Amino acid sequence: MPSPANTIASSPSSTTTSTTTNQSPPLSPPPPPPPPPPATPSITTAAVNSTSRNFQRRLAWKRRSRREKDEKDVDETKTRGEECRRNRRETERGILSIFSEEFVIFTAWASSRMP
């Protein structure tokens, strides 16, 4: 009967098997994953809030300036209306005074023509 040492030593398959089983190739780190594709710009909540705040601020400014403009227009309209009424009164007075002068002149002329 062969001895166990001779069997292991003489058996090439057991030597090869033990060599490959006991010796493992050095482990290399796994390859890094591919880089992610470039992300499309996404709108963050902060950006949305900031944009919304800016929009609200501009909208409020437009309303305020429009209101101030409307108030200014109302004041100008009142002033313009008062000025128009004053001019009309002055014009009417001027026309009446011209007519009254002309009437006096006409009356004097007509009376001189009458026998």
pTM score: 0.27
What is the largest distance, in Å, between two alpha-carbon atoms of the chain? 186
Selected residue with higher pLDDT from 5 and 72: 72
pLDDT at 8 (0 to 100): 54
Query: What burial letters (b/e) apply to 39-65, b meaning 16+ CB within 10 Å?
Result: eeeeeeeeeeeeeeeeeeeeeeeeeee
Beta strands in the chain (DSSP E): none
Domain boundaries defined on the chain: 52-115
Per-residue model confidence as pLDDT tens digits over 13-61: 555 555 555 556 667 777 888 877 666 666 667 777 777 888 888 888 8
The two structure tokens encoding residue 80: 């313009």
CB atoms near residue 17 (< 10 Å):
11
Give percent of the chain above pLDDT 70.
Answer: 68
21 backbone dihedrals φ, ψ, rounded to 5°:
-75, -45
